[in-house]
Amino acid sequence: MFRRNLFSSDRVVGIVFIAPFLIMAAIFMVYPIAEATRLAFVSYNPLRPDASFYVGLANFQYVFADPLFWQSMWQAVVWTFLSTLFQTVFGVGIALLLHRTIFGIAFFRGLLLFPYIVPTVVIALIWRWIFNPEIGVVNYSLQAMGIIDAPIYWLSTPTMAMASTIMLNVWKYTPFVVICVLARLQTVPIELYDAAKVDGAGAVRRFFDVTLPQLREVLIVVIVFRTIWTFNKFEEIYLLTKGGPGTSTFNLAIYSFEQSMANLKLGAGAATGVVMMVMLLVGSIIYLRIAGFEREE
């Protein structure tokens, strides 16, 4: 009886459709996580793969004793918090503008996707030119308007380099927030706004009493995903500043890369990755519980 139910036509079709996903997930998700976790407890040199051996918690002790690890962690938190904050604020604002019914709005909605679909390498190269202190369009425009008297070395000073990487991340990924928020706005019942108007609520009151509560669940999910993706980001910072000047824009992803590739300490790099994974997992659970993101019975 059990075998007959298991191999019924509907179950077979379901298994056939889900099998490719399960296989790909096992190859590209489960195995890398398991291998990274294994390497975190091993001393491994890629130039001498036959000389690897188990070291227990030594790799974690090494990274925790490294001041650069804690500096990178702090900078990763700052980078992630500010990037996610600005993406959320700008994303909600732009979504509200694009939610209006005006002529040509479809064109602007399509144009919004441009930063999101352009390859990161291309964007980083363009932004390196934009922020060039001598020929960059940013300094030229600011000087032409009389805002600054001397060129700003955007990528050569610690504070401005961090600000530049945050601006790049915000510019590229705000469209993701806009798309999610705009999709939710399309489903908000118009009767809620009509009732608020009858009660005498102005635009600001309608936003806080009607729009924001309706966006609550989608914003919780968006913030979680953007936090995870931003905290793990490597290519944007590395292509724009390579973690510099000095180590002023290091985050944990770049720290892990430098330990693995530059120092050939794959165990330390893997240990950093495990720490990042645990931090994001615990942080996401705490955030979701605080935000009250639970299905109501």
Task: Give the tens place of pLDDT for each residue, 177-219.
Answer: 999 999 899 888 888 888 888 888 888 888 888 889 999 999 9
Residue 76 has pLDDT above 90, yes or no: yes
Phi, psi at residue 258, to the nearest 5°?
-65, -40
154 within 8 A of 166, measured Cβ to Cβ: no
Q: How far is CA 103 from CA 98, 108, 231, 271, in A?
A: 11, 10, 39, 54
Task: Give the tens place of pLDDT for each residue, 79-112.
Answer: 999 999 999 999 999 999 888 777 777 777 778 8
Mean pLDDT in the chain? 87
Type and span of the H or E element at 288: helix 266-291
What pLDDT sits at residue 90?
A: 95
- Cβ atoms within 10 Å, residue 212: 12
pTM of the predicted structure, to 2 decimals: 0.87
Q: Which of 234, 265, 249, 280 is nearest to 60 (CA)?
A: 265
CA distance 8 to 176: 41
Domains and CATH numbers, the chain: 67-296 (1.10.3720.10)
Task: Kindly calculate the radius of gyration of the chain based on its CA atoms and give it in whole angstroms.
Answer: 24
